[in-house]
Amino acid sequence: MKRKNRLATGVKILLFLLLFAVILAAGINAAMLLRARGRILGEADVRDRGADCILVLGAGVRSDGSPSNMLEDRLLVGIGLYEAGAAPKLLMGGDHGSVDYDEVNTMKSFAVERGVDPDDVFMDHAGFSTYESLIRARDVFGAKHIVIVSQEYHLYRALWLADALGLEAVGVCADLRTYIGQSMREVREVAARCKDFALGFLEPDPTYLGEPIDLTGPGSVTDDKT
């Protein structure tokens, strides 16, 4: 009988913890969505905000080195904002953690091929996550006022992190088409928001920091050295 009572108590505790986790996750997600409301703007609304740079957040690159649909749309929107005068520089934040996988050179090449001055494009080779891209934009590139470009579902988290890190930021949505697998991304984003909620408070160091890079200088300082 005592064993059954202990089992019942254990089940109740587990159910309570599960319910608490669900409520906490729902609260964090709701807070991020509400906080970003009114800060996801259109191109015309970000032209005269005096931003230091347009931060284009990285996404997948295909095996042939071309950007995925999602990344291509972020780049097209970022280039459009640059051409409209929203900021004088593009900062490409992505994953270049190995020789075989390189988001940021793909991103820069895409922009330069479309007429962007190479020296107006900076690459953050260690932007391995949304958090790392934002904290490195602040601590390595010295940005204070930024325009963040990504898909809408991702912008809520990015804007919350920017706030937590003391950056003045607005977002511009890059949803130019329907993306395969978006339903699963939305589900995963619930957990990602919870993770980055904690990172925003704890503010751990990124994987790499390195020497400061001046965004008012030439973007070639971030080119690969061979």
Check residue 3 and give its pLDDT: 63
> Does residue 225 sit within a domain?
no
55, part of any domain: yes
Say if 97 falls within a structural domain.
yes
Domain-embedded: residue 222: no
Nearest to 155 by CA among 74, 47, 36, 53: 36
Q: Is residue 164 part of a domain?
A: yes
Range of the domain at 34: 2-216
Q: Which of 23-27, 56-60, 89-93, 169-173 has the lowest mean pLDDT?
A: 23-27
* Rounded Cα distance, 41 and 31, in Å: 19
Residue 210 belongs to some domain of the structure: yes
- Region 151-180: mean pLDDT is 95
pLDDT over 60 at 226, yes or no: no
Identify the CATH number of the domain in which residue 176 sits: 3.40.50.620
The total domain count for the chain is 1
For the stretch 95-135, pLDDT in tens is 887 777 889 999 999 999 999 999 999 999 999 999 999 99
Q: Is residue 226 part of a domain?
A: no
Distance CA 77, CA 149 (A): 7
Q: Pick the closest to residue 39 from 160, 174, 202 (CA basis).
A: 160
pTM for this prediction? 0.89
